[in-house]
Structure 1
Amino acid sequence: MAADTTMSNGQETASLNGEPATKRPRDSEEVESLRNPRPPQNKVTVVLGAQWGDEGKGKVVDLLAMDADIVCRCQGGNNAGHTVVVDSVEYDFHLLPSGVLNKKATSFIGNGVVIHLPGLFEEAEKNLKKGNGLEGWEQRLKISDRAHIVFNFHQAVDGIQEQQRQQQAGKNLGTTKKGIGPAYSSKAARNGLRVCDLVSDFSIFEEKFRMLAGHFQTMYPKLNIDVDAELQQLKVFAEKLRPLVTDGVYFMHKALTGPSKKILVEGANAALLDIDFGTYPFVTSSNCTVGGVCTGLGVPPSHVGRVYGVVKAYTTRVGVGAFPTEQDNEIGELLQSRGREFGVTTGRRRRCGWLDLVLVRYAHMVNGFTAIALTKLDILDTLPEIKVGVAYSVDGKPLPSFPANMDVLTRVSVTYETLPGWCCSTEGVRNFEQLPPQAQDYIRFIEKFLQVPVKWVGVGKSRESMIKLF
C-alpha cells in the first residue's frame, strides 16, 4: 500500500491512498514517558583487571558468579588465563567464562571474543578431568554467532611475527603466540570468518577459508598450512559447536529487558593491555576496558551498572614493556616466589614490583570503577615495610598524567610512600577487623589515594579467602 505526501500551509503531511492523514495529539502520559523513559530493566555487573593482568579476576568472578544468572566473556581469546579454586580443585580457564562452574547460570561467549575451537574443547576436557565442577558445561554455554574464529594458521603467523620482530628490532612484543593478534587483524581487514559462517553452509565456509589461508601464505611464504586437514577438523567442530550457537544480540537483549536477572561480565586481560589505552604497542589486540563490554556483547551503555576493578596488592607484568615500579632485586624475587607468579596461559615468569597507584588511578579514569577488589594481600605478609608508587617524574619534572609514549614511561622516576608492614600471616583472616592494623592502614591508603572504596580483600587462593568489607 503506497503512501504519498501533500503540502499544506508550508507543512508536509503524509497521506494514505490520497486521503489526508490526521495528526493524533499526544496525551500527557505519552509525553511524560518520552521525557522520562523507564530505567533499564537489568544492568550488567562488570569485573575488569586494573593493571597488566593476572590480578585474580577469576576468583572475583567465581565469587560473584555463584549468585549470577548469566556470566559473559566480552573480548580476548585463549591468551587470557583465569584460575579458580573450588573445594581444593584448581581449574584453569582461558576461553570458558569462570562462571561456568555455577551449574545454575548460563555462560555466554560474546561477539568480541576470538575463539580457537581446538583450544575451547581441549580446555573443557582438561577441566572435566579435575573434578565434577564442569559436568554438563555444554548445556549451560552459549556462543555468539558473530564471534570470530582463530585458526591454526593464525597461531603459526603469530609465532612468525614474533621471530621477525626479534630479528629486525632485537625485541618482540611478548605475545602468547595464541594467534590473537592475527585473528583480530583478519577481523579488522574484513576477511575473517565468524562462527555463523562455520555453522551455516560449509561449502561457502570452505571457499572463504581457502581464500584466507592463501592470503596468509602469500604474506608469509614460509607458512606451512595443511588446508585440507584443518578443514576436516573444522567440519567436526562445526557439529559440536552448532547446539551452542545463538544470536548474541538477541540473547543479551532478552536478558537485559526481560524478567529480573543478575548478569555478570568477566573482562579478560586488563586496562594497561587495552589496544587503545594500554602501554602500546606492548598490549593485547582488543578493548579490555569498559567500552569492550558494550561492543563485545551488544550491551547498550545505559545497561552497564557496577564496574569492579581488580587490583593486585603489588604489581606484576608478563613479557616485555615499561614497568616503572619493577623490583629486579630480592624484593621482586620474594614477591615472585611467594605469589607463585607464573602465567596461567604460558607458564612464563612474571616480573614483580611495588603497587603502582599512578597506573591504577589511570585505569580508574578510563573505567570508572565502582569499587576495588584488592587481591593477594597475604603475599606481603613477611615484609617489614611496603612501598607504594604515588607519582611520576621525568628529568626532575613531575608528570601530570600517565604517559602515552612508552619511551617516556621507560624513563620515569617513581615517588614512593613507604608504609609499615605487618609481619604476620593474614591467610586465615575472614573479616576486616581481624586484619593487622598495618594491613588495614595499607587498604585505607589505597582507598584514599584512588577515591574508590575497597569492597573485597583477598588473602588466599580459594573463594572463601575473599574478605568482604561492605
Structure 2
Amino acid sequence: MNLVILGAQWGDEGKGKVVALLSENYEVVVRYQGGSNAGHTVVINGEKFILHLLPTGILHPHTVGVIAQGMVVDLELLVKEIKDIESKGLRVRDRLFISDRAHLVLPYHKVLDSLLERKGKIGTTLRGIGPAYMLKYARKGIRVCDLGDKDRFYSLVKDNLEFVEELCKKVYCENFELKIEEVVDRSLENFEEVKYCVIDTSQYLLEKREGILFEGAQGTLLDVDIGTYPYVTSSNSSALGLSAGTGLPPKFFSKAKFYGVSKAYTTRVGEGPFPTELKDST
C-alpha cells in the first residue's frame, strides 16, 4: 500500500521526522512539489541531516528517492546536498531519479524573488521558488530535459535573462550583473553530476505501483489555491498537488493511506494571518 504524508498546518509540523521513521518500510520516497524552500531535519544514528530537495527517505540505504515533475530544482543546491550526504558514507546518486520535466531554479529567479519581496513583503525564503513557478506558468520556464541540448539551453537562458534584466533596470531601477556564460556554464557543470539520474519519473512510478511513500512539503494552509492567499507557498502543498506533481492519475491514489502531520501548538514562518498567535512573554 502507498502512503502520502502531508503537513496539516502552516509547515514545520515535523513531516521530515515522520517520513524518516515510516519510510524505512517503503521502497520509494517521492518529493513532488515545492523546491529548496522545504527544510527537513532528521537525526539518524547520531548524524544530523538537513534536506531541502532530496526526499527524506533516501537516508535509508535501501530506499530509492524520486524528485518528480512538480518540483522546481536548484541544481547547485541539489548537487551540494548530494555531496554532503555522500561525504558521510551514504551513496545517493545510484538511488536517485529526477524527472526530465521538472523545472529549474536559476540565479535570475533569486534576483527576481528579491525584487518582488521588496515590493510587497510576504515572507518568502528568497530561494527563487515563486519566480520559477511564475515563469513556468508563463511558459518561459526551463526544464531539466532542456539541459541535454546546450544550444537550446543557452537560447532559453538568454531569453529569460533579457526579460529579468529589463525588469531590474526599467521597473525597479536596479543594476543587473548576471552573465549568461556564467549561468549556462555553471548549470551544465551541475547537470553533469546528476544527468544519469534523469528519467521519466511518471512512467517509473506507474510501473512501480506499490511500496511508495509520497512526501509533501510545506503545509496544507500554505497551499497556493486553498491556503491563506496571498501569504502562501507557490505550489499545491495540500493533497491537490499529488496528481499534477507526480504525473499520476487520481485513481492511482484511491487505495493509498493519507497521514496529516500536525503539532500540539501551531507556528508559522513569514507573513500572513495567524489567529492564535501569542504576543506576550509566553
Give me the TM-score of the superposition, normalised by structure 2.
0.95
Is the partner of 2:262 in helix, strand or coil? strand
- Aligned mate of 1:232, from 173, 185, 189: 185
Displacement after TM superposition at 1:293 (Å):
1.1
Q: Give the equivalent residue in structure 1 for 2:75.
A: 117
Q: Give the equivalent residue in structure 1 for 2:151.
A: 203
Q: Greater share of strand residues, 1 or 2?
A: 1
- Aligned mate of 1:152, from 107, 116, 135: 107
Corresponding pairs, count: 275
- Contact residue 31 and residue 66 of structure 2 kept, 8 A: yes
In structure 1, C-alpha distance between the alignment counterparts of 2:149 and 2:250, rounded to whole Å: 34
Displacement after TM superposition at 1:128 (Å):
3.9
Is the partner of 1:79 in helix, strand or coil? coil
Displacement after TM superposition at 1:210 (Å):
0.6
In structure 2, C-alpha distance between the alignment counterparts of 1:215 and 1:128, rounded to whole Å: 38
Alignment of 1:325-336 (within 5 A): 325-331=276-282
- Contact residue 20 and residue 56 of structure 2 kept, 8 A: yes
Residues 346-396 of structure 1 deviation map (CA, whole Å, 9 limit, x = unaligned): xxxxxxxxxxxxxxxxxxxxxxxxxxxxxxxxxxxxxxxxxxxxxxxxxxx
Displacement after TM superposition at 1:121 (Å):
1.1
Q: Give the equivalent residue in structure 2 for 1:251.
A: 204
Residues 293-326 of structure 1 deviation map (CA, whole Å, 9 limit, x = unaligned): 1110012212211110000111111111111111
Alignment of 1:50-449 (within 5 A): 50-129=8-87, 131-132=88-89, 135-165=90-120, 172-198=121-147, 200-221=148-169, 222=174, 223-256=176-209, 261-304=210-253, 305-331=256-282
Amino acid at match of 1:174: G
Displacement after TM superposition at 1:232 (Å):
0.9
Displacement after TM superposition at 1:242 (Å):
1.2
Q: Give the equivalent residue in structure 2 for 1:47.
A: 5
Displacement after TM superposition at 1:194 (Å):
0.2
In structure 1, C-alpha distance between the alignment counterparts of 2:112 and 2:34, rounded to whole Å: 18
In structure 1, C-alpha distance between the alignment counterparts of 2:206 and 2:97, rounded to whole Å: 14
Displacement after TM superposition at 1:164 (Å):
2.0
Identify unmatched segments of 5+ residues in structure 2. Answer: none
- Contact residue 66 and residue 99 of structure 1 kept, 8 A: yes
In structure 2, C-alpha distance between the alignment counterparts of 1:287 and 1:320, rounded to whole Å: 18
- Contact residue 249 and residue 298 of structure 1 kept, 8 A: yes
Displacement after TM superposition at 1:206 (Å):
0.8
Identify unmatched segments of 5+ residues in structure 1. Answer: 1-42, 166-171, 332-470
Amino acid at match of 2:103: H
Is the partner of 2:213 in helix, strand or coil? strand
Amino acid at match of 1:49: G
- Contact residue 231 and residue 272 of structure 2 kept, 8 A: yes
Is the partner of 2:165 in helix, strand or coil? helix
Give me the TM-score of the superposition, normalised by structure 1.
0.57
Task: Give the RMSD, CA atoms, in angstroms.
Answer: 1.2
In structure 1, C-alpha distance between the alignment counterparts of 2:233 and 2:177, rounded to whole Å: 25
Alignment of 1:453-464 (within 5 A): none
- Contact residue 45 and residue 265 of structure 1 kept, 8 A: yes
Is the partner of 2:260 in helix, strand or coil? strand
Q: Give the equivalent residue in structure 2 for 1:361.
A: none
Q: Which has the larger radius of gyration?
A: 1
**Identical pairs, percent:** 42
Displacement after TM superposition at 1:245 (Å):
0.1
In structure 2, C-alpha distance between the alignment counterparts of 1:44 and 1:182, rounded to whole Å: 32
In structure 2, C-alpha distance between the alignment counterparts of 1:285 and 1:233, rounded to whole Å: 26
In structure 2, C-alpha distance between the alignment counterparts of 1:164 and 1:128, rounded to whole Å: 40
- Contact residue 86 and residue 92 of structure 2 kept, 8 A: no
In structure 1, C-alpha distance between the alignment counterparts of 2:84 and 2:190, rounded to whole Å: 17
Is the partner of 2:22 in helix, strand or coil? helix
Displacement after TM superposition at 1:162 (Å):
1.1
Is the partner of 1:213 in helix, strand or coil? helix
- Contact residue 85 and residue 92 of structure 2 kept, 8 A: no
Between 1 and 2, higher relative CO (CA 8 Å, sep ≥ 6) is seen in 2
